Amino acid sequence: MMDTENHINWFRHTGPYIKAHRGRIFVVYLGNGALESPNLMTLLHDMALLHFLGVHLVLVHATREAIDSALPKDHPVVLKEGIRVTDDLTLAAACDAAAKQQVQIERLLSMGLPNTPLKAAQIRVMAGNFVTARPIGIRKGVHYLHSGTVRRIDVKGVQAILDNDAVALISPLGYSPAGELLSVSASDTAEAVAVAIGADKLIFLDRHAGLEDEDGNLIRQCTIASAKNLSVLDEEQRRLRDAACRACSQGVTRGHLLTFHRKGALLEELFTHDGAGTLIAQDPYEQARGAEIDDIASIMELIRPLEESGALVKRSRERLEEEIHHFSILERDGRVIACAALYPFAETGAGEIACVATHPDYRGAGRAKQLLNELILKASRLSLTEVFVLTTQSTHWFLEQGFELAAPKLLPIAKQQLYNWQRNSAILKRAV
């Protein structure tokens, strides 16, 4: 059981994520089997929570397995290149499956969420004819009958639902301008909606925990290029991986692949640093790493304005070159967007935290805190027992990170001699 302090701490850590997700559009694909999963209630409660935290949700539900089980046992299922040939009976089963699932999702999201902190909260769900499709027609001699591909998404229609503070629910059925009803792939639909509406995230929930490397280890985050290079054995997962990659190449900020089997996986993916499944992103995901000599130009670009404003002590290029191994950075699009350094004073068991900076465009999302935590870990690995910092403008930020004010005489002797009385920095320290 989490004690109150841990609970409050955990809650604080979610702050940057709550802030980052508010007002964003997430397209969530409920894969085959999700609606039969024992976790369905929890999953929908978690989605309700996202809705109340200000996330705009579009749900797309997969019906393939529901169609299979609705068809008579002796009905031939014809699949060519992973696409089903939809005959009249299959189309009727597709309509039934979509309608039943739609009603089930609407019912569960109307439940007033008993036994949860969101008790009696009401969520409006709206569905509609947002998918324009065209028949696949005849390919390599196979007539796909009522199977279609997505031609257009009614972006205004979906956006109007989201603007109305409702959840948009989309079934894998499309309508042709000629009045034909067509069965379309749910993952293609989710992808098309995410791209058309400019979603921030396309989240595929299916049976797999996420993508795995060749040793079977879960990959937490990867670029489109490395996701594409993975050999994925399961055909369904391969389809979802490809859809996530295509969506990310067309402007969706992040694709996520995770399981509906594990309780809380969705929230873990969205509100924790490590996540629960695989995150795919267009650009290399920001990662903290030790700085290298090639990073100096970019670090200088970041810290020069802060040196000029007096927030940071001036460092020459030569000094930076000598001290680069003390620096950790966060890189994005090949550019350093945050940095921080740890200078160990091994003989006294203390370390100085210095040059903590985040580019103004990227502040307020926990980046400096992330780097500070990495450096505190590094200090602990170096067997240091405390860290201190000298700052002129960010005293309160460090106080919030668990530092306390200290007197100059508490600094290591070597540092006391360098202490610049004119700069009159505040001195803060904290245990490692």
Ligand X SMILES: CC(C)(COP(=O)(O)OP(=O)(O)OC[C@H]1O[C@@H](n2cnc3c(N)ncnc32)[C@H](O)[C@@H]1OP(=O)(O)O)[C@@H](O)C(=O)NCCC(=O)NCCS
Positions touching ligand X (CB under 6 A) are: 306, 311-312, 338, 354-358, 363-369, 389, 391, 393-394, 396-397
239/136 Cα distance (integer angstroms): 18
Whose Cβ is closer to ligand X: residue 170's or residue 387's? Answer: 387
Minimal distance, residue 11 CB to ligand X, in Å: 13
CA dihedral sign, ordered 268, 38, 115, 127: positive
161/181 Cα distance (integer angstroms): 23
Cα first-last separation, the chain: 25
> Which single residue is written with the structure tokens 């705009």?
56
Residues 6+ apart with CB under 8 A from 103: none
In this structure, what token pair is assigned to residue 348? 């006294």
| Long-range CB contacts for residues 225-234, cutoff 8 Å, separation at least 24 | 227/278, 227/280, 234/208
401/429 Cα distance (integer angstroms): 10
Whose Cβ is closer to ligand X: residue 42's or residue 328's? Answer: 328
Whose Cβ is closer to ligand X: residue 196's or residue 428's? Answer: 428
Minimal distance, residue 22 CB to ligand X, in Å: 13
24/37 Cα distance (integer angstroms): 27
Closest by Cα among 221, 193, 294, 260 to 37: 260
Whose Cβ is closer to ligand X: residue 97's or residue 306's? Answer: 306
What single DSSP character describes residue 418? H
Closest by Cα among 15, 22, 19, 6 to 369: 15
The packing angle between helices 186-197 and 235-249, to 10°, is: 10
User: What length does the chain have?
Assistant: 432
Whose Cβ is closer to ligand X: residue 133's or residue 354's? Answer: 354
Minimal distance, residue 193 CB to ligand X, in Å: 32
Minimal distance, residue 386 CB to ligand X, in Å: 16
In this structure, what token pair is assigned to residue 13? 């850590």
Whose Cβ is closer to ligand X: residue 113's or residue 270's? Answer: 270
Minimal distance, residue 20 CB to ligand X, in Å: 11
Say how many CA atoms lie within 13 Å of 374 toward its Cβ: 22
Minimal distance, residue 393 CB to ligand X, in Å: 5
Minimal distance, residue 146 CB to ligand X, in Å: 52
Minimal distance, residue 15 CB to ligand X, in Å: 6
Q: What are phi and psi of 278, to 5 degrees?
A: -110, 130
Whose Cβ is closer to ligand X: residue 136's or residue 387's? Answer: 387
Minimal distance, residue 286 CB to ligand X, in Å: 12
Is 189:168 a contact under the CB 8 Å cutoff? no
Whose Cβ is closer to ligand X: residue 192's or residue 427's? Answer: 427
